[in-house]
Chain A
């Protein structure tokens, strides 16, 4: 069996038993990247040298019988939005293209402490804003199952990397579905934990009250392994949950008894692709065959989820992205060109006698801000900054932001009620399989609807997982989403594992 076919769990066992070395494992993945990433474009940067150095160090310690971290020698790909000391963190944006973080994100520090081999940085929609990774300012990432299609987003690079077996594990972030949606579209397992389970410290913020870091892997078992390594209370993140981390990977083998699955009535309406619906209903029958009961539940406010999300997320984003003004770090416009432009405008106004307009010319500082930001940000980021700025403006705050917060509470209440009756909610991760690259770039609203089934978990702050549950006739992966009450990551992982013990969708590999 080739290294690439082994789960992270198996890799750890093999390395512990001395049948494989971390260098062999790392080299196998580097080779796979070398073979396929020119086509897929999952990685923005591959750190072959650093990865091999780390792997050798782990091997040496293992041989010497010294302690090795829980992910000792397992390659992990990381979405390029988490800070790592001394390294670039671009967020796939021109504005941070050359930015090196002077500190480690908590997740990165934990991965380093766990002796994971940080193999490279994966592509994303700029600042994690998008659902197709097409908003990356740096690179196009393709779906390994069909290179003409998007991998989903915003963690499209991480999902594609795992799907193409260019990394056994990957880190993503999920603000409205950005782990689950690409996981679903790429046929891998991806989980967004409950808000606060994983520290956000060092995660470059998109929408602070919605952002959450989570694992992508080929199985729930491996996702459990990675979550275990990155979860936990962090004093550097005031919103992190102060609770011990359950031993997810130890407990994952225990099947859930008396499981009741909820199917959300509102999730099976018009707009849901027939092949996706068929696969999801079939997945539910698998659970029934495993002894689960199925109930229909209602989330009456789910029709407001996308609208609510597209108020709250842009509001927070407009504020979080204010710091990219060219003054302290990130892209700054060319000063000479800026001043020349201003002088030319002034001369033009003066020569045409518009002296009043001369006084209205913006100052060099304001012009520096304006030019730096318009050059540094892509269209989607600008769109969201404008949406958020507008919604937070005096006179609009109550009608938009405040109302969105109220609806958000109602959405959470819907979930609380539903979870009185069921243990988990099951449904499609996305309404349709991966679309063609470029198909929706001119239709932002259609793009926003990609998040239809996933944003609710972010708004409610609960956890969700997407697992492969079938393929379309054209061979595109279909994802099943499970959602659980707050802090029930263990339940999500065990339920996903039950399904993966009974099916083999998650073991399928794209025809690269």
Chain B
């Protein structure tokens, strides 16, 4: 690192759980419904209503925490976090304060491009809470006119708090990518940032090497309003520069000023200080008397662990060892999600060539999916059909370039590889026919023959071009081989 400081980053991630209903009532959690249509007396905080915990939400939360190697508390309770806001109808949020259901886990991050060493990022705690509603503000001249949508109020939310273990924006992004991948693999959350089902706040400061070699920490800043992982990366890079400048100007260290909250302005590419009251907020947490504590046995934890299935990190290793692909390839495949990996594995098995399968999936299948904005589940060429094409390419029945044409034809027509090849007029050229064609070419090109004899082997390439003009189906490698043979004999 060329900067005269280390950047220290901790992330607080909120993800909505993929439950059908809310955390403490039966309302749907589906995104995008007309405002306030997914509400009931409970999630609107009507007087007299009581919350009842959604077991499914707790199960999903357990899965996430176990997958993050967290310790699961045998006894956990619900606390009320109290503050006034119009999108919080009860005047408190049901959350977990001093006894979260899990703590002390970690997530391993690495970079396929090698920008940083693989490392473990500590997880301080993972807890479950209810989401608030949404306020839509229309503030004019100090007069607030707000509309409130409580559809989201009560949606189960997992809060995952990391240790300040990340040392670069790239590491922070890798952590977010890996966390999202894990949660999506588990089916715990769809982690859709656009729909707000994943939200990130960052705590960031600098450790600057002082003149005497001592470590100087700058004040910690909390950055909010980042609406993509790219935005997180940019906001953190911006904050590092900004904090260093501020330190050079003011010399302010950690503890000199209260913790500041800044919002990321994506359009302006800067963070801005957010107005807030000087005194730190007192949420007056206390145990929610309407809910009973939840106990979790060691046996339950083991059952959850056993049912987790293969997680992304293990899956990458398996693909590398079983199919001989590179960490880069396994990273690309696994990061696309479980369905694509299943597709790849079926293709690798059926074609008998894992590396070739990885190339075709990454280049041809993924490109098509991206172009069409489609998902692998709906992709019309299934692994057995694609495997047939790959085998023909491998057997030299069709070269890679024409193979792509076949692929396009299969995609357009729904035909099998053999049918598509026939339709394209691709057929294997008989060996004796091929030798005759090469003989004609050698005879007709004395200049090229002389070049080859003089050691310019690349001149043989010209024979391939001419052969293809005469018969598009010739195997270029065989043409080259036969021509060289004939010249050597001749």
Contact = CB atoms under 8 A, between A and B. Distances in A.
Interface of A: 82-83, 89, 91, 96, 99, 101-103, 105, 200-205, 207-209, 235-239, 315-316, 318-319, 322-325, 327-329, 339, 363-366, 369, 389, 392-394, 397, 401
B41 A322 contact: no
Interface in B89-113: 89-92
A201 B49 contact: yes
A316 B90 CA distance: 13
Contact of A316 (B47, B53, B91, B289): B289
B40 to A, nearest CB: 8
B48 A82 contact: yes
B92 A393 contact: no
Contact of A83 (B44, B47, B286): B47
B86 interface: yes
B91 A323 contact: yes
B144 A393 contact: no
Nearest to A208: B289
Given A238-B53, A319-B80, A101 B284 contact: no
A393 B284 contact: yes
A364 B286 contact: no
Contact of B48 (A205, A235, A315): A205
Contact of A200 (B50, B284, B291): B50
A238 B292 contact: yes
B45 interface: yes
A392 B286 contact: yes
A239 B143 contact: no
B164 interface: no
Among A201, A203, A238, A366, which residue has the most Cβ atoms of chain B within 10 A?
A238
29 contacts: A96-B47, A99-B47, A101-B48, A102-B41, A200-B50, A201-B48, A202-B48, A202-B49, A204-B47, A208-B289, A208-B290, A209-B289, A238-B53, A238-B290, A238-B292, A239-B291, A319-B92, A319-B286, A323-B45, A327-B86, A328-B148, A329-B47, A365-B144, A369-B84, A392-B285, A392-B286, A393-B282, A397-B286, A401-B286
B425 interface: no
Interface string B134-148: 000000001110101
A105 B41 CA distance: 11
Contact of A103 (B41, B45, B51, B148): B41
Interface string B252-279: 0000000000000000000000000000
A110 B372 CA distance: 57
Given A89-B47, A89-B48, A238-B52, A392 B41 contact: no
A91 B47 contact: yes
B92 A238 contact: no
A235 B52 contact: yes
Contacts of B90: 322-323
CB-based closest 7 A-B pairs: A322-B91, A209-B289, A208-B289, A392-B284, A204-B47, A202-B48, A204-B48
Given A236-B50, A327-B148, A365-B146, 17 more contacts: A83-B46, A101-B47, A103-B46, A103-B49, A201-B50, A237-B50, A238-B50, A239-B291, A319-B286, A322-B90, A328-B44, A328-B86, A339-B143, A363-B144, A364-B142, A366-B84, A389-B284
A203 B44 contact: no
Nearest to A240: B50
B92 A322 contact: yes
A449 to B, nearest CB: 25
Nearest to B90: A323
Interface centre among A237, A327, A389 (most CB of B within 10 A): A327
Contacts of A96: 47
A483 to B, nearest CB: 22
Given A323-B90, A389-B284, A83 B290 contact: no
B82 interface: yes
A322 B52 CA distance: 20
Contacts of B45: 323, 328
A91 B47 CA distance: 10
B48 A105 contact: yes
Contacts of B143: 339, 364
B302 to A, nearest CB: 26
B94 to A, nearest CB: 11
Interface string B114-149: 000000000000000000000000000011101010
A202 B52 CA distance: 13
A364 B47 contact: no
A464 to B, nearest CB: 20
B144 A364 contact: yes
Contacts of A82: 48
A323 B87 CA distance: 11
Contacts of B285: 392
Given A201-B49, A239-B290, A401-B286, A319 B82 contact: yes
Nearest to A395: B282
B53 A102 contact: no
Nearest to B91: A322
Contacts of A205: 47-48, 290
Nearest to B87: A327
A376 to B, nearest CB: 13
Interface string B23-61: 000000000000000000100111111111100000000
A201 B290 CA distance: 10
